[in-house]
């Protein structure tokens, strides 16, 4: 929150005295922090010997959490600005398919396909925002329409052009491309090779990769997640624009009266959400080498769930990017952790629902403590 | 603060209850994980679950079933990574999308986990990723055989109800069927979605728009059950030539009453059961069959239905 960022003012009778302990405790992230501790404690107790906390296991749930984080950052900022985007999942499928169509079907260089997909996504994001602003309709409905339109195109185009719903071969196409490794590459490979050589992490036992470490680097997906979280956090808490986001979501009319360009803020946030979805899609396509019409199914809800677990308010004007990132971490760890712990996989949704409910209840109490409402 | 501690405690209890159940159910011995590409909503895979459960019980090994809840193949790749990290003796998995799953499966093989490909994929792909073998039904060939059979029965045009349009291997059945009939696939493949009432209404709409259609192919219970309902509603049941892939309770009833001419059974039970048995024996005694195993296609018609009927949806 921006208030905590400013230097402590000199004693002012209008400001209620509050101990620094209490001040540090009541933050939007508190629920997320407690949840993270609880979840890790739980899995350390129940799944410590299942491979969940060896290098491969850690990389597994980190990658899944990083995926959630990327879309959660966008969804978080948009939600604080008072709007929803339900088209995130479809946008992921659409962006991936565009990259595949431009690069594989049309044979364009991969960097160009990626850039064009980003331009398309940003344009669709802007269109979402524009329609919401101009019509005054709830963003819920507008982006629900976009959800169907984009998903429909994602199925239609590849069937029209390639007569199938999964387009592969992007990995070969991306060979030697300068932009592709920024999304699909891995860094610190030398460091992990060194760890493997010194038997600090496990190595492959057989096959062509014998001797290679089982984890051979940090995927760029995780780097993107960290960069986006830091960017979002700084934007929200350290800049004037961040205050505008809070103001737009808190009370748009009041914000307009004091000169906040609410429309511009909202459209930009829709574009940022679309950008995050496109980053997600590009990383996925570059890693797996194919784009499918079913990619990103239900991801919009997963993003919203992560944001809500992280303490943001569905009505806007309140929340934090760090909270959303912790929400994504909880989501990822629980999802993969349940597999490690050997829980029947059809129960996953039950756990998800329970955690969501607990997080929302917890966050409501914390918010009441902060705002003093009864 | 107190309420928070309470809710955390509550969470632990709620989360821990089924967990203790799950852990007590596991047996001693080898551990095998089956990873499928099916979303939670696909009931057909229940047979697979029963198949590995039975094999696990009979062989005295621990078995687990995993799937991506929404059927997203990229999520499935993560599950294979996860399964490999949890250190089982073997993984049984489908190859729903070769590009996506190739890497995770190769890594699992390289880290010392044996892999058998079941259900979806081809014997060639299974060999390329380093799997021990492939157990399943070659989809295109099965569709082709069905198409030739339908042609022999006098079918000239058809509707293919595809409830899994995002899965290329399932679509292969339609393509094979069209080639077997000797007609162009064209617009005959209907993207039906997975919602029963949507499927039913789409089939009704297609048939009233294309009244000359004289054959229907459905690709599983998900599309077959609503199609049966649709045909009963518009009076075409028993009149139009109707074949389906896979079996289920409604399909068996349909075959019995003459609404469905035949069902193609790829015998998913074997696809789940055999890999567990094969790998257990391989790990215990080092014996391994030398070839891939075709679990299907087998045509199930009105004759010899009793066993099928008894176990439909459970083991058939």
Q: What is the mean pLDDT of each run of 10 residues along chain A (374 residues)?
A: 51 68 71 87 86 85 92 95 93 94 92 95 96 93 94 88 80 86 86 81 73 83 95 94 93 92 95 96 89 86 90 86 94 85 77 86 79 64
Q: What is the mean pLDDT of chain B?
A: 85
Q: What is the CATH number of the domain that holds B155?
A: 3.40.50.2300
**By mean pLDDT, which of A231-240, B81-90, B200-209 is the weakest?**
B200-209
Asked if A354 lies within 8 A of B15 by C-beta distance, the reply is yes
Identify the pLDDT of residue A229: 96
Of B249, B265, B281, the residue that ends a domain is B265
Same domain, B226 and B153: yes
B128 & B153 share domain: no
Residue B113: give the domain boundaries. 27-137+267-296
pLDDT band for position B7 (cuts 50, 70, 90): low
Q: Does A189 touch chain B (CB under 8 A)?
A: no
Which of A151, A290, A363 to substitute to test the interface with B, most B CBs within 10 Å?
Answer: A290
* Length of chain A measured in residues: 374
Of B9 and A229, the structure prediction assigns the larger pLDDT to A229
Q: Same domain, yes or no, for B45 and B75?
A: yes
**Which residue among B226, B248, B265 closes a domain?**
B265
Enumerate the residues of chain A whose CB falls inside 8 A of the CB of residue B100. Answer: 288-290, 292
Question: What is the per-residue pLDDT across B98-110, written as a single tens digit (0 to 9) for each?
Answer: 889 999 999 999 9
Are the C-beta atoms of B180 and B158 separated by less than 8 Å? no
Task: Let me know if residue B167 belongs to a domain.
Answer: yes
Q: Are B129 and B143 found together in one domain? A: no
Give the chain A residue whose CA is nearest to the CA of B19.
A343
Chain B residues within an 8 Å CB radius of A222: none
Q: What pLDDT score does A158 carry?
A: 87
Q: What gap in Å lies between CA B127 and CA B129, rounded to an integer?
A: 6
DSSP B20-74: HHHHHHPPSS-EEEEE----TT-GGGHHHHHHHHHHHHHHT-EEEEE--TT--HH
Rounded to the nearest 5°, which phi and psi values hold at B134? -120, 130
Question: Is ipTM beyond 0.90?
Answer: no
Q: Which two tokens stand for residue A339?
A: 């597999």
Q: What percent of chain B has pLDDT over 70?
A: 91
Answer whether B52's CB lies under 8 Å from B65's CB.
yes
The answer to whether A67 and A237 are in contact (CB under 8 A) is: no
Model pLDDT, residue A1 = 44
Chain A: residue whose CA lies nearest to B7: A358
Of B118, B97, B126, B106, which Cα lies nearest the Cα of B52?
A: B118
Shortest CA distance to A112 belongs to which of A98, A126, A124, A127?
A98
Partner residue opposite B72 with nearest CB, options A206, A295, A351: A295
Question: Which among A288, A298, A365 has the least Cβ separation from residue B3?
Answer: A365
Cβ-in-10-Å burial (0-12, 13-18, 19+) of B108 comes to buried
Q: Name the residue among A83, A192, A189 with its Cα closest to residue A141.
A: A83
Nearest to A42 among B12, B18, B66 (CB): B12
Return the pLDDT at A8: 54
Q: What angle do CA B187, B191, B193 make, to 5 degrees?
A: 165
Question: Within this chain, do residues B207 and B182 fall inside the same structural domain, yes or no?
Answer: yes
Query: Are residues B66 and B212 located together in one domain of the fold?
Result: no
**Out of B15, B26, B78, closest to residue A351 by CB:** B15
Rounded to whole angstroms, how far apart are CA atoms A68 and A276?
10
- Of B10, B87, B98, Cβ closest to residue A51: B87
Q: Which residues of A touch B99 (CB under 8 A)?
A: 166, 168-171, 288-290
Q: Which residues in B lie closer than 8 A to residue A339 (C-beta atoms)?
A: 66, 79, 82-83, 86
Beta bridge partners of B298: B265
Nearest residue in B to A344, CA atom: B22
B292, part of any domain: yes
| Per-residue confidence band for B18, with pLDDT thresholds at 50, 70 and 90 | very low
For residues B133 and B271, state if they share a domain.
yes
Chain B contact for A292 (CB, 8 A cutoff): yes
Question: B260 and B173 in one domain?
Answer: yes
Residue with tokens 């075409």: B236
User: Contact B99/A289, CB-based, under 8 Å?
Assistant: yes
- How far does the CA of residue A47 sit from the closest CA of chain B (Å)? 10
Minimal CA separation from A295 to chain B, in Å: 6
- In chain A, residues with a C-beta closer than 8 Å to the C-beta of B97 are 166, 168, 288, 290, 292
**Of B16 and A207, more confident:** A207
In this structure, are B131 and B48 located in the same domain? yes
The CA distance from B36 to the nearest CA of chain A, in Å, is: 12
Chain A residues whose CB is inside 8 A of the B78 CB are 60, 63-64, 336
pLDDT in tens, A21-47: 766 666 778 878 888 998 899 889 888
Is B19 contained in some domain?
no
- Mean pLDDT in residue range B29-49: 86
In a domain, B22, yes or no: no
Whether residues B150 and B204 share a domain: the answer is yes
CA separation for the pair A74, A255 (Å, rounded):
21
Which residues are B217's β-sheet partners? B160, B243
Q: How far is B17 from chain A (nearest CA, A)?
A: 10
DSSP state letters, B115-162: EEEEESS-HHHHHHTT-S-EEE--HHHHHHHHHHHHHHTT----EEEE
pLDDT for A86: 95
Q: What's the farthest any 2 CA atoms get from each other in chain B?
A: 75
Interchain contact, B130 vs A207, CB within 8 Å: yes
**Under 8 Å between Cβ of B72 and A294:** yes
The answer to whether the CB atoms of A336 and B7 lie below 8 A apart is no
pLDDT higher at A361 or B25: A361
Residue B232 lies in a domain: yes
Query: Which stretch of DSSP H or E encloses residue B245?
Result: strand B241-245
Query: How far is the C-alpha of A170 from the C-alpha of A103, rounded, in Å?
Result: 7
For chain A, the helix, strand and coil percentages under 3-state DSSP, each to the nearest 5: 70, 5, 30
Q: Is B5 a domain residue?
A: no
Domain ranges of chain A: 54-371
CB pairs under 8 A between A and B: 158
Taking residues B177-183, report their average pLDDT.
91
Q: Are residues B170 and B271 in the same domain?
A: no
| Chain A residues touching B81 at Cβ < 8 A | 56, 59-60, 63
Contacts of B130 in chain A (CB under 8 A): 207
CA A142 to mean position of chain CA atoms: 21
Are residues B162 and B191 both part of a single domain? yes
Is residue B90 within 8 Å of residue B115, measured between CB atoms?
Answer: yes
For the entire predicted model, the pTM comes to 0.79
Contact between A214 and B107 (Cβ < 8 Å):
yes
For residue A49, give Cα distances in angstroms to A53, A261, A340, B19, B91: 8, 54, 9, 15, 19
How many C-beta neighbours within 10 Å does residue A369 have?
14
B11 within a domain of the structure (yes/no): no
Provide the domain count of chain B.
2
Cβ atoms of residues B19 and A343 within 8 Å:
yes
Q: Do B8 and A34 lie within an 8 Å CB cutoff?
A: yes
pLDDT of residue B1: 45
Does the structure show a pLDDT above 70 at B12? no
Is the pLDDT at B19 greater than 70? The verdict is no
> How many other C-beta atoms can be found within 10 angstroms of the C-beta atom of residue A302?
24
């Amino acid at each position: 929150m921006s208030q905590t960022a400013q230097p402590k003012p000199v004693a002012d009778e209008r400001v209620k005295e509050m101990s620094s302990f209490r001040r540090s405790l009541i933050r939007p992230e508190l629920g997320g922090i407690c949840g993270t501790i609880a979840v890790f404690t739980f899995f350390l107790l129940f799944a410590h010997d299942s491979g969940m906390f060896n290098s491969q296991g850690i990389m597994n749930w980190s990658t899944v959490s990083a995926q959630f984080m990327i879309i959660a950052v966008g969804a978080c900022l948009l939600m604080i600005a008072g709007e929803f985007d339900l088209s995130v999942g479809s946008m992921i499928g659409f962006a991936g398919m565009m990259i595949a169509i431009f690069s594989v079907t049309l044979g364009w260089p991969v960097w160009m396909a990626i850039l064009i997909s980003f331009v398309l996504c940003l344009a669709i994001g802007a269109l979402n925002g524009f329609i919401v602003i101009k019509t005054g309709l709830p963003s819920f409905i507008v982006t629900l329409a976009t959800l169907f339109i984009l998903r429909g195109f994602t199925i239609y185009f590849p069937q029209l052009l390639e007569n199938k719903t999964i387009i592969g071969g992007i990995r070969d196409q991306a060979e030697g491309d300068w932009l592709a490794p920024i999304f699909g590459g891995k860094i610190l490979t030398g460091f992990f090779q060194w760890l493997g050589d010194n038997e600090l992490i496990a190595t492959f036992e057989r096959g062509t990769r014998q001797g290679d470490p089982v984890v051979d680097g940090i995927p760029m997906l995780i780097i993107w997640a960290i960069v986006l979280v830091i960017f979002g956090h700084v934007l929200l808490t350290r800049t004037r624009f961040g205050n505008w986001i809070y103001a737009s979501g808190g009370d748009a009319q009041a914000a307009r009266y004091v000169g906040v360009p609410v429309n511009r803020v909202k459209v930009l946030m829709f574009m940022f959400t679309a950008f995050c979805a496109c980053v997600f899609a590009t990383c996925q396509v570059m890693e797996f080498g194919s784009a499918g019409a079913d990619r990103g199914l239900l991801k919009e809800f997963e993003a919203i769930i992560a944001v809500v677990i992280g303490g943001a308010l569905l009505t806007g004007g309140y929340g934090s990017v760090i909270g959303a990132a912790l929400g994504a971490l909880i989501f990822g760890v629980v999802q993969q952790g349940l597999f490690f712990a050997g829980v029947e996989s059809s129960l996953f949704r039950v756990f998800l629902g329970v955690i969501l409910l607990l997080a929302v209840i917890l966050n409501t109490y914390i918010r009441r403590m902060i705002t003093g409402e009864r | 603060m107190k309420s928070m501690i309470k809710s955390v405690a509550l969470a632990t209890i709620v989360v821990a209850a089924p967990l203790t159940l799950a852990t007590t159910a596991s047996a001693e011995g080898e551990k095998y994980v089956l990873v499928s590409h099916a979303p939670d909503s696909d009931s057909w895979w229940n047979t697979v679950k029963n198949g590995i459960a039975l094999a696990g019980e009979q062989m005295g090994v621990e078995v687990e079933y995993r799937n991506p809840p929404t059927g997203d193949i990229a999520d499935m790749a993560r599950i294979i990574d996860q399964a490999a990290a949890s250190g089982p003796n073997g993984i049984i998995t489908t190859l729903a999308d070769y590009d996506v799953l190739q890497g995770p499966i190769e890594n699992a093989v390289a880290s010392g986990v044996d892999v058998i490909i079941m259900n979806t994929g081809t014997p060639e792909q299974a060999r390329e990723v380093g799997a021990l073998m492939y157990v399943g039904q070659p989809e295109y060939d099965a569709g082709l055989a069905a198409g030739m059979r339908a042609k022999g029965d006098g079918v000239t045009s058809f509707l293919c109800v595809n409830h899994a349009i995002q899965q290329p291997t399932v679509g292969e059945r339609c393509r094979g069927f069209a080639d077997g009939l000797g007609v162009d696939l064209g617009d005959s493949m209907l993207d039906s979605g997975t919602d029963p009432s949507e499927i039913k209404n789409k089939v009704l709409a297609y048939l009233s728009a294309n009244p000359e259609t004289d054959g229907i192919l459905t690709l599983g219970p998900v599309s077959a059950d609503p199609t049966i309902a649709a045909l009963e509603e518009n009076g075409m049941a028993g009149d139009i030539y109707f074949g389906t892939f896979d079996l289920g309770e409604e399909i068996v009833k349909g075959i019995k009453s003459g609404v469905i001419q035949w069902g193609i059974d790829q015998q998913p039970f074997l696809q789940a059961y055999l890999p567990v048995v094969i790998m257990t024996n391989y790990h215990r005694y080092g014996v391994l069959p030398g070839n891939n195993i075709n679990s299907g296609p087998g045509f199930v018609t009105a004759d010899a239905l009793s066993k099928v009927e008894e176990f439909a949806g459970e083991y058939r």
